[in-house]
Structure formats: structure tokens, C-alpha cells
Amino acid sequence: MTSITQVGSRHPASGAWSPVDQDAWGRADYPLGAHVLGSDVTFAVYSKHATRILLEIYDQPIGAAARYDYWLERKEKDDVWRARVASVPPGTLYAFRCFGPNWPFDPAWSRGNSNAGFHRDVDADGNRFNPNKVLFDPYAREISHDKEAPAIAAAGHDGAMYATGGGDYHGVVRRELDTGPWVPKGIVLAPDRTSTGTRPRIPPESSIIYEAHVRGLTRHPSASTLRACVADFPGFEQVQDVPDDERGTYAGAARMAKYLKALGFTTVELLPVHESCNDSNRNDAPGGNYWGYMTFGYFAPDRRYAKDPSPGGPTREFKQMVKAFHDEGMEVYLDVVFNHTGEGGNWGNNDVTAFVCFGGFDAVEYYQLTSSNYLVDGATGCGNQLNFSNEVAHTLVMDSLTYWLDEMGVDGFRFDLAPVLGRTPDAAHREHWGEQRRFFQTHPLLDRIRDLGESRHAEMIAEAWDMWGYEVGNFPSGWGEWNGRYRDAIRRFLKGDGNTRAFLEQV
């Protein structure tokens, strides 16, 4: 029998969808994310400052309220909140609501635009909890849709509904608007056994890297007639055409392996493939955030790039793509964006943010803040930057890299605006900007990333500059670095721009 009267008790007491070993949740060690455990699924999310976290199960990704809910239990030793639920099938959709010091749980609170329990949008400590703004799992292996998707627009909504503050949204106070029916959901995945083939382990000094965008690589119609385009050139006999329904997908990129190999490349480096907000882009034009540098999910392959968008499809198709390159003796690197997330920053007013994930779980832990608790973005220019003084940010990066190496089969990474990962802003006063900008070659996260690469024979390459500094030559031994000034000088010289002195200085 299912109770519908109390928040957190809307679930069966026994059988499928019932809590399992509930008394042990506060002592358990379930890993972060959603994981199949026998016939059950465990759920775990991090928050140091939340006071209550509610797990919700949904029947559909868009347009419906949650079917079941459960109060998670916190383990004080690691600040991870956990649950275990019986007989949860793969493909299940889930999300969370968080209460905290600035908005504690009030028994009068209910779904559907409630202000019960509200104190303030942001408190003196920087907490920004809002139970009306539902959150997807930072560790979700796949995400159902983007926060601004065509189906959401068709229902008359847009990204402004995720905002906090006292402004108006369709006649509702923004902080009170319930985003549960609309927010992206995490998807429970069964373990995927798709092979990624054998790693080539090419020495870095022998690598010739082709940088490509998964969608842009094959979206043009010429990808479907590639064999004819190169028919007169020796060495291209094995090149494949890309079927029209695979253009712009992981499956289409897989068919380019033989072509790129014939060109002489050893490695393909893919621009960001982590989930980002691009669902509303047209198929015949790049659209907003085409390049993918506003990441939302560091474990989820972007669903828009999958020919098969069904639950598990993007993961399986990505791994098949990796295998296609490995079968040709080529490596696959990923461009990763850990310096900031796609959640943006303050909308002018300090009361206003639009979190759908990280910041909603714990803005103080995930993000760098000013003394007035505004989000900092001076190094990134993207609304926020992750705070690598805190272990939760270290863990997020290391867990994501390990997942893509061990489970998804990739061979290396290029780190966007990598100096952000080498700063410890909490070591200095929040307004001491000289110290805030300081880069630490000995930062423990940089060492951990290097050590992971060495243990997995994977390359770790820094874009060694950001808006706060140019750190080429300053990353620890074992890291590779992009040399931006060399690149720019060579490019200008080859274009005939007359920069002979700069060219000679670089060579």
C-alpha cells in the first residue's frame, strides 16, 4: 500500500519500490550515483550543508510529478546521503530535492509552488537550498534531457523557471515555482558490457592528434559520399560512407576511423561530449552552446550525439565508437571542462541563481564565492568556477576521469582552462585577489590527475592558461601542455601576417 499523505513516505512499504535495509542507510558505503545492486538500486549524493534530501522517482521525464519519494540518510563521516530501493528497473528516472539552513523542511511544505519553511534565497554562509528547484544527480551516467528542451518550450516554459529570487514567472514567485515536472532526470542504467577494444598505447611523442567535434565531424552531407571524394587517392580504399541517419552521431564518428587513420592521424581528440544544453539547437545549424563547453553532467555522454537516444543507448554507442578507433590502432582523447559548470552564476542580483545540479546540492562546497557570496567567474568568464580547495571538487574530477578511462575506454584528456584546477581559493581571504589567482604547481589535484594517467597509460594535457594567468611550463612533470603562444605565432606566420619576430621567438 502506498502512502500519499506525507512527504518522503510516498512509496510501497514492501516489495518493488520499497526501502531496503533502511536502518542501515546512514552507515552504508554505497558509491555516489545510482548503482544496480542485485535486484535493487542504491542512490547516493554528496552535501555537507543540506539538512534533508528527498529522492524522487518519476514515470516520465517531462510534464509529470514524482511517483515515489524517500528521505535519504546522511553518513556524517563523508557527508554522503544514501538510500537503497527494491526492484528498481533499468531506465528508471530519478531526481532530488534539498532542504538546508536557508530553507529548512517545514511539514507544511508540499510539491506545487510552496513557500513553507523559506527563510532567504542565500544566507550569510552562502547556502542556496531551495526544495522547489529539483536537482539531477551530479553522478548520473545518463541524463534524460536538457533543462531547455523542445518539449519544455512547447509547454510554454523556458530556463527562467529554474531561477530563485522574488521575481515573477508566469504569475508565480520564481523561488516557489516547482520544477519537478520539467528538470532533467538521472537515468538508472544496468551495467554495460560493450567492449571498447584494445588500447593502442601510443607514445605521446609519436601522437598526431586530430581535433574534432562529434556532431561537426559527420554532419555535412559530404560525409555520406566520402568514398567517392577520396576514390582517386591511394591508401583510402577502406574509407566508409556515413549513412544519413548516422551523420552527427557517435555512430557516424565511428565510421570516420578508417578515414582519419588513412590521413595519418594516430589520435582523435573530441570536443566536449559530456552532457550540455543543446537539445533545442536545430539540426541544420550549430545553435547555442554548439561547442559543448557548458557542461552539466561529467559522467553522461551527450544524448544529442546518439543515434540511439533510448536509456543506455548513448553509453553503448559511445563505447562502440571508441572500439572502432581502437580497432584502427587510434586513440581517443576527450576535451573536458572541469573549471566551471553549465549552471551559470548570479543573474545580476545575489538572490538569483538557476541551479539544476551542483549548486543546488551545496553551493558553498562546489563553487568559489566572494565574501558577499556571489559566485566567482573571473578565471573562466562563464558564471562560476569550481572550488578546488574542497575535496568534493577533487573527488568529482577524479571519479569522472576514472569512469571515462575504465568504463568508456578513452585514452587521454585535454583540460579546458586547466589552471583553475591548480588553485586553492579558500587558502586566502575571499577578497585577496592576488592570492585567489595564485596557481600552485604542487596542487594535490594536479598530482592525482598525473598519477591516474600514469597508472592507466593515459595522457593528461593542460590548456595551461585562463583569464587569470598563462601557466605554460608550470604544470607538474608528467603533464602535457598546449603551447598557446607557439600555436598563435605559427598560425599567423603561415597566414602571412608578417609576425616574423614572434615566429622566430617561438621556434
- How big is the chain, counted in residues? 507
Cβ atoms of 85 and 70 closer than 8 Å: yes
The pLDDT of residue 175: 98
C-alpha cell at 343: 549552471
pLDDT at 55: 99
Q: Which pLDDT tens digit goes with each residue over 145-155?
A: 999 999 999 99
Give me 5's grid cell: 499523505
**Triad 235, 246, 309: Cα angle to 5°:** 140
Q: How far is it, in rounded angstroms, from Cα 135 to Cα 53?
A: 10
pLDDT tens-digit series, residues 71-102: 999 999 999 999 999 999 999 999 999 999 99
Compute the distance between CA of residue 18 and CA of residue 25 in angstroms, rounded to an integer.
14
pLDDT in tens, 402-425: 999 999 999 999 999 999 999 999
Q: Which residues are catalytic?
A: 416, 463
Q: Is the pLDDT of residue 371 over 90?
A: yes
Outline where DSSP puts E strands in 422-468: 459-463, 465-466
Of 246, 267, 271, give the one whose Cα is nearest residue 257: 267
Count the Cβ atoms, other than its own, within 10 Å of residue 205.
Answer: 5
Q: Is the pLDDT of residue 3 over 50?
A: no
> All 3 cell numbers of residue 283?
539540426
Q: Mean pLDDT across the stretch 44-55? A: 99
Classify burial at 29, counting beta carbons within 10 Å of its beta carbon; exposed 0-12, middle 13-18, buried 19 or more.
exposed
Instruction: Tell me what the mean pLDDT of segment 296-315 comes to.
Output: 98
> How high is the pLDDT of residue 284?
72
Q: What's the pLDDT score for residue 5?
A: 57
- Closest of 478, 473, 502, 476 to residue 490, by C-alpha: 502
Nearest residue to 69 via CA among 141, 4, 147 = 4
For every residue of 132-174, which 3-state class applies, written as one string?
A: CCCECCCCCCCECCCCCCHHHHHCCCCHHHHCCCCCEECCEEH
**439-455, pLDDT tens digit by residue?**
999 999 999 999 999 99
Question: Taking the domain 22-187, which CATH number applies?
Answer: 2.60.40.10
